[in-house]
């Protein structure tokens, strides 16, 4: 039997500069919004909201700012970045769990109650 020593997504992304690691995430966000043009309007927010997504197994976090008009994403270093204080809500979890949540392959409630995901801040934003 031949074993594969290919690194996982977390290992690959950890070695990239923060800005470069965010490029595929920005592309995914843009593609999702183009496929679902009414998504942001359905959130019903009158003011922009910011969500910080912190993969536990990566050295960076993902800051997403959403409004009815659009969404922007940027990757930031976790240590000393101070962005957590600027976020309305924060979601933490391992990268595979976060990807399963985004891809619809797992139930966020089940992940939360199994303690695979943690939320703080405005939970209404997280649920939306």
Between CA 77 and CA 35 the distance in angstroms is 29
User: What six digits make up the tokens of 109?
Assistant: 């409630």
Q: What's residue 12's pLDDT?
A: 65
Strands (E), the chain: 49-55, 60-66, 71-77, 89-93, 117-121
The string of pLDDT tens digits covering residues 55-80 is 888 888 888 898 888 888 888 887 65
Instruction: Let me know how many helices (H) and strands (E) the chain has, helices first.
Output: 6, 5
pLDDT at position 11: 65
């Amino acid at each position: 039997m031949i074993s594969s020593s290919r690194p996982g997504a977390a290992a690959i992304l950890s070695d990239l500069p923060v800005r470069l690691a965010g490029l595929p995430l920005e592309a995914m966000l843009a593609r999702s919004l183009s496929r679902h043009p009414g998504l942001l309007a359905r959130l019903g927010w009158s003011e922009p909201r910011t969500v910080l997504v912190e993969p536990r197994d990566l050295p960076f976090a993902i800051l997403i700012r959403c409004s009815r008009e659009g969404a922007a994403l940027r990757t930031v270093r976790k240590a000393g970045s101070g962005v957590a204080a600027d976020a309305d809500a924060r979601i933490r979890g391992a990268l595979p769990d976060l990807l399963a949540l985004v891809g619809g392959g797992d139930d966020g409630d089940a992940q939360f109650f199994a303690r695979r995901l943690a939320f703080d801040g405005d939970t209404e934003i997280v649920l939306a």
